[in-house]
Structure 1
Amino acid sequence: MLEEETHTPLYIRISPKDNVAIVVNDGGLPAGACFPCGLTLQTAVPQGHKVALQDLARDEAVVRYGVVIGYALCDIAAGTWINESMLRMPQAPSLDALPVATQVSSMGTPLTNLTFDGYRNDDGTVGTRNILAISATVQCVTGVVEFAVRQIREQLLPRYPNVDDVVYLEHGYGCGVAIDAPNAEIPIRTLRNLSLNPNFGGKVLLVSLGCEKLQPAKMFPAGSIPIAQDDPYLVTLQDEDNVGFASMIDSILEKAERRLVQLNARKREPCPLSALVVGVQCGGSDAFSGVTANPAVGYATDLLVRAGATVMFSEVTEVRDGIAQLTVRAATSEVGQALLREMQWYDNYLKQGGADRSANTSPGNKRGGLSNIVEKAMGSIVKSGTTPIQGVVAPGERVIHKGLNFLATPASDFICGTLQLAAGMTLHVFTTGRGTPYGLAAVPVIKVATRNSLARRWYDLMDINAGRIATGEASIEEVGQEMFEQMIAIASGRQKSCAEQLRLHNSLVLFNPAPVT
């Protein structure tokens, strides 16, 4: 919009059914502000927060996105700011008797002959980066491996120009845990599949201490990647051959260089866009997330699916309240039942921990205008676009279906990102309204701002400004197309995301619902 127009009080109403809307203007609006429709604010309303569009009686449903996000705890006059303290959250929808696979939409016209420049692997996967990865069976080796990584980066990498980086897959697991408990398989298979990420070339350099519960043969049993004690890519620090710290480092560097020689022989080549695996996620969400950034991601998701690519959306608690919107989109009844199974598993998991889905929303979410998890979920789901859901991936498993997939993860940014990496993600799209410098070392992360003000303040941390949608400067389709084109450029190595340029990345965090002994 023109600069002078931005002073006009503006709100966004998603559905004709909505009896609330969110304030668009930077800094919010004062009491007395009058919208073009004639509605006058009775109270000041912060940016992104809800204003009542009509008088609401106590216990009356408050509707946004065309769904009930809560019930008024008191009478609310039109033009009044509505925040979380004024709402009673609805009960979680029942998982019984939901419609399944009843509204499978068209995939749309296929997008053919689209390519990106990637690194082909022997197993048929394609990486967007060429990275030497070092994994570990136990956190005890972290200090040694981090020292070795610094040496590799300084001494060896300059001699291998086709290798982008060396990454340590650090974690806090491996010993002091109930290694054979039923749910212990989740973190173990996560570590196994992290090492198989396409950006690592299909092999692993593994460092073991020697005495830990998670032995190499348990982490990589026969049938995954057979690893024996004499494996050229296994270093065991407690081996008698390692005499002193320097010997340990030399062992790691010697085996790392063998791997670097192999990786350096790889070259980018044109690959079909159908080989791309994209993970989409949101963090530090606000009320604009479901209006600007996430719908643009959904548009780009549809384009990727039409090109044959694989897209994963995640976060169980952030789809739980909209599960009926997803089961109807299941490509088959089996996919629909898998969705319900993962929802039920997580309901039980939260109950066992004495929590429920209401614990999801953070103080930042609420300051950004999201009153509860119901409202947050409605804005989160739209990242999935409109195409049928082809598969459901359990936590720690690899994605196997092309097209749109739901990966059942916690909503924690770090755990979700870790599980998406383990599932095979090679490119990440992350939307934020409150702002987060989130990044991952193993894959490029494209950051999308939901608001103009965030994009201006964090101009060197955000790759795309979706806030232009709220002010009418761009459409959802235009920003989604821009995002799609940027994905291809970054996947091809022609461009780096802000987080990648600044080498910003978060630690990996395993999801471990099993006991710690």
Structure 2
Amino acid sequence: MILSAAKPVGGERVAPPDSPRTIRLHAEDNVAIVVNAFGLPAGTAFPDGPTLTEFVPQGHKVALEDIPRGGHVRRYGEVVGIALRDIPRGSWVEESCVETPTAPALDALEKATRVPAPLPPLEGYTFEGFRNPDGSVGTKNILAISTSVQCVTGTLDVAIRRIRQELLPRYPNVDDVIGLTHAYGCGVAINAPEAVIPIRTLQSLARNPNFGGEVMVIGLGCEKLVSERLVPQGEGAAEDSVVRLQDERHEGFGSMIASIMTMAEARLEVLNSRTRETCPASELVVGLQCGGSDAFSGVTANPALGFAADLLVRCGATVLFSEVTEVRDAIHLLTPRAATPAVADALIREMAWYDAYLEKGGADRRANPSPGNKKGGLNNIVEKALGSVAKSGTSAITGVLAPGERVKERGLIFAATPASDFVCGTLQLASGITVQVFSTGRGTPYGLAQAPVIKVATRTELSRRWSDLIDLDAGRIATGDASIEEMGWELFLLILDVASGRRQPWSDRWGLYNDLTLFNPAPIT
């Protein structure tokens, strides 16, 4: 990363009070992004660099050399656009100037050709977690109540209010009771091939380590997704874990609520016996996600996440990164890092599946990024993807999960999900994350009730404006006040504190949580 400072033209200050600066990420790049919060005006001159021919907003690209029509626009040392017209040196390389390059062909990728050597083990780091009977370790102690169909959500909401008011005060070691609610279960093609994704997701969600293994399901009785399918095998009789509202034993609404509360109390007694104990950092399962991304995501926050990911992998922990459409255009950088050709093939499998899914829906990867991403300086999905994969750090990729699959391997894992914040969060929870780290440049009040979410800002301006929503300011990397390594270590230690309950991220302090959102590519009948 190369920081460049400008000098005012003619001795007059024509920029904001801080020194005008740009960031160039790679020696081969022919563009740099503007660091200054309010952008830089026409006439700003950079030593050994261009003089701006027009105003360039913060995070947006300025041409470092003349780029002819049809020429390559390079950032991260990669082609992020094809010039649609001549782009003079010093001009703003905005969205209308460039065409999105073609995605890498999936049949011509290197596989496990540049597998990173293992980094030195990192020993002695621990956190205070809740150990479960199956050996997994949670960071929260929550009673989660699953639903087999949307029809019962209102009833469960009433029951949860009663449980919080009447029962939870008697079980002080339990953090909360939540519903794993969704818009699925009936009116769906339950036997369609792709129905495996939402069903597997619901089955896996119930087994998240933060729920202590105390599975409980509320069903109606006539839905296609029968309640028993959500009770893990080996958990005893399914009837002991299911409340079915249409059962004849229920005489009215009060009887239904009473049955839910009785079953919940039995599980609260078990969960209340859980206490935090010292566990090695290797027991963590950390999900990495980004939302409301901008041009700084791949410069500050995501590289810091990647450094922290490497530290976690060195501890023997499990780290999940996701978002297929925000990986697809950088897949050529990932398959060589796969630990084995089989892992590379699994990466390619998930990319190909999603290509076909988008094509069937009459869409393509150019539907991503969002208007906010573009306002933050990301011209297209190629540029966004190259910044997104920085979250993965430098470790070998040791496994790949299809949507909703539970993680089994340790190390760096690609968990295939859509890029939607809410769908990705739901699927990562199903895969077993117990902490999530979420980077954002534009800002989003995202949060999960099921696992703590650490918010990392890409820009100091956002961190200051949203001081009671952002947990860590990675914008200090762009200003030169901190290095990627320093921010990575700070984030790593924050993850340990949050996992231990010593620190609460802002989303937990506010109780600011998004609904779960299932990924359902199967037909609705």
Alignment match, 1:239: 247
Alignment match, 1:114: 125
How far 1:266 moved relative to its partner?
A: 0.6
SS of the residue 2:398 aligns to? strand
Q: Per-residue displacement from partner, 1:77-97 (whole Å, max 9, x unpaired)?
A: 111111111101111110013
Q: Per-residue displacement from partner, 1:213-263 (whole Å, max 9, x unpaired)?
A: 000233347x364553x31x3111111121111111111111111110000
Q: Choose from 400, 405, 409 the match for 1:401.
A: 409
Mapped partners of 1:178, 1:451: distance in 2: 45
Q: Per-residue displacement from partner, 1:98-148 (whole Å, max 9, x unpaired)?
A: 111111112211011221110001111000000010110001000010111
How far 1:5 moved relative to its partner?
A: 9.5
Task: Please list, as runs of the form range in 1=range in 2, the aligned pairs for 1:49-128 lying within 5 A after superposition.
Answer: 49-128=60-139
SS of the residue 1:32 aligns to? coil
Mapped partners of 1:385, 1:258: distance in 2: 43
Alignment match, 2:470: 462
Mapped partners of 2:492, 2:283: distance in 1: 15
Mapped partners of 1:215, 1:198: distance in 2: 24
Mapped partners of 2:139, 2:508: distance in 1: 13
Alignment match, 2:292: 284
Q: Choose from 423, 431, 445 the match for 2:431.
A: 423
Alignment match, 1:437: 445
Mapped partners of 1:340, 1:177: distance in 2: 29
Q: Does 1:212 align with 2:223?
A: yes
Q: Choose from 494, 497, 504 the match for 1:489.
A: 497
Letter in 2 for 1:163: V
SS of the residue 2:106 aligns to? coil
Paired residues of 2:304 and 2:484 also in contact (CA < 8 A): yes
Alignment match, 1:450: 458
Q: Does 1:341 align with 2:349?
A: yes
Q: Does 1:185 align with 2:196?
A: yes
How far 1:430 moved relative to its partner?
A: 0.2
Q: Per-residue displacement from partner, 1:21-70 (whole Å, max 9, x unpaired)?
A: 00000111111122233421101011000000111111110000000011
TM-score (norm: length of structure 1): 0.97
Paired residues of 1:394 and 1:407 also in contact (CA < 8 A): yes
Q: Per-residue displacement from partner, 1:279-319 (whole Å, max 9, x unpaired)?
A: 00000000000000000000000000000000000001101
SS of the residue 2:479 aligns to? coil
Paired residues of 2:49 and 2:64 also in contact (CA < 8 A): no
Task: Please list, as runs of the form range in 1=range in 2, the aligned pairs for 1:4-403 lying within 5 A after superposition.
Answer: 7-220=18-231, 223=233, 225=235, 227-228=237-238, 230-231=239-240, 233-403=241-411
Letter in 2 for 1:385: G
Paired residues of 2:220 and 2:245 also in contact (CA < 8 A): yes
Paired residues of 1:399 and 1:423 also in contact (CA < 8 A): yes
Paired residues of 1:128 and 1:493 also in contact (CA < 8 A): yes
How far 1:203 moved relative to its partner?
A: 2.4
How far 1:448 moved relative to its partner?
A: 0.3
C-alpha change, 1:251 and 1:45, in structure 2 (3 Å) is same
SS of the residue 2:516 aligns to? coil
Paired residues of 1:107 and 1:305 also in contact (CA < 8 A): no
Paired residues of 2:335 and 2:347 also in contact (CA < 8 A): yes
What is the RMSD computed on CA atoms of the aligned residues?
Answer: 1.4
TM-score (norm: length of structure 2): 0.96
C-alpha change, 1:226 and 1:347, in structure 2 (3 Å) is farther
Paired residues of 2:306 and 2:393 also in contact (CA < 8 A): yes
Which runs of no fewer than 5 residues in structure 1 stay unpaired?
none
Letter in 2 for 1:40: T
Query: Percent of counterpart pairs with the same letter?
Result: 63
Letter in 1 for 2:98: L
Mapped partners of 1:414, 1:369: distance in 2: 23
SS of the residue 2:337 aligns to? coil
Paired residues of 1:273 and 1:308 also in contact (CA < 8 A): yes
SS of the residue 2:309 aligns to? helix
Mapped partners of 2:48, 2:472: distance in 1: 31
C-alpha change, 1:99 and 1:6, in structure 2 (3 Å) is farther
Mapped partners of 2:196, 2:49: distance in 1: 59
SS of the residue 1:406 aligns to? strand
Alignment match, 1:516: 524
Mapped partners of 1:91, 1:109: distance in 2: 38
Paired residues of 1:433 and 1:451 also in contact (CA < 8 A): yes
C-alpha change, 1:227 and 1:193, in structure 2 (3 Å) is farther
Mapped partners of 2:229, 2:234: distance in 1: 10
Which runs of no fewer than 5 residues in structure 2 stay unpaired?
4-14
How far 1:6 moved relative to its partner?
A: 5.6
Paired residues of 2:423 and 2:519 also in contact (CA < 8 A): yes
Alignment match, 1:498: 506
Q: Choose from 414, 419, 423 the match for 1:411.
A: 419
